[in-house]
């Protein structure tokens, strides 16, 4: 799997390293990706997700069931 958040859909960005002499070389801005296990009480099972720190905040704010439903609707999580 690629390094993309399964809740927000965020991925890495591309930019430049800029030296003091103003030389530019390509670089990647990676996301703060964490592998976390969540318990879904409605289904009675656990699910492991790759989420960013921002994704964890969303889960804390709206709840894991609503977050998984939105991510599935937006296509970030494949229906199993």
What tens digit of pLDDT does each residue of 28-69 get?
999 999 999 999 998 899 999 999 999 999 999 999 999 999
Q: Is residue 51 part of a domain?
A: yes
Q: Is residue 37 part of a domain?
A: yes
Q: Is residue 61 part of a domain?
A: yes
Domain around 44: 13-74
Q: Is residue 1 part of a domain?
A: no
Q: In the prediction, which pLDDT does 72 show?
A: 94
Per-residue pLDDT band for 25 (boundaries 50, 70, 90) equals very high
Q: How many residues does the chain have?
A: 80
Q: Is residue 80 part of a domain?
A: no
Partners of 50 in the β-ladder: 35
Q: Is residue 27 part of a domain?
A: yes
Q: In the prediction, which pLDDT does 64 show?
A: 95
Q: How many domains does the chain have?
A: 1
Three-class secondary structure of residue 77 per DSSP? coil
CATH of the domain at 26: 2.30.170.40
């Amino acid at each position: 799997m690629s390094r993309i958040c399964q809740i927000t859909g965020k991925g890495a960005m591309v930019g430049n390293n800029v030296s003091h002499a103003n030389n530019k070389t390509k670089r990647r801005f990676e996301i703060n990706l964490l592998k976390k296990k969540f318990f879904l009480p409605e289904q009675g099972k656990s699910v492991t997700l790759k989420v960013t720190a921002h994704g964890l905040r969303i889960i804390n704010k709206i709840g894991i069931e609503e977050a998984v439903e939105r991510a599935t609707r937006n296509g970030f999580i494949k229906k199993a």
